[in-house]
């Protein structure tokens, strides 16, 4: 049995945070989608989480699998998808 290497795509912000040894908080995207919380509570919860993480000095990284690729750190415009 062979296994494929796990090679997620990092957002520029997450890549920069890693290079600068900044803390990163991963957020699983499902809870913020329609599969998790209902609209508009999902968007409001995400915005609150992102704000609090940044206020505490960390970089938020919403995670998702998009088009078969694991992504760590989505842009704001990708949260709705």
Lowest-pLDDT choice from 2-6, 14-18, 59-63, 68-72: 2-6
Task: Using pLDDT thresholds of 50, 70 and 90, give the confidence band for residue 81.
Answer: low
63 DSSP β-pair partners: 28, 72
Q: What is the pLDDT of residues 16-33, one digit of tens each?
A: 999 999 999 999 998 888
Q: Choose between 81 and 11: higher pLDDT.
A: 11
For the chain, percent of residues with pLDDT exceeding 90: 67
Query: What average pLDDT does this structure show over 48-77?
Result: 95
62-64-69-73 Cα dihedral, nearest 10 degrees: 0
Q: Strand order in 59-66's β-sheet?
A: 9-10, 69-72, 59-66, 24-28
Q: Where are the alpha helices (DSSP H) in 3-80?
A: 12-19, 41-55
């Amino acid at each position: 049995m062979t296994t494929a290497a796990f090679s997620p795509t990092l957002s520029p912000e997450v890549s920069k945070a890693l290079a600068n040894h900044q803390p990163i908080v991963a957020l699983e995207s499902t809870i913020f989608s329609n599969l998790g919380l209902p609209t508009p509570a999902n968007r409001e919860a995400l915005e609150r989480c992102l704000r609090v993480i940044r206020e505490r000095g960390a970089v938020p990284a919403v995670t998702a699998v998009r088009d078969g690729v694991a992504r760590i750190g989505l842009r704001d415009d990708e949260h709705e998808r």
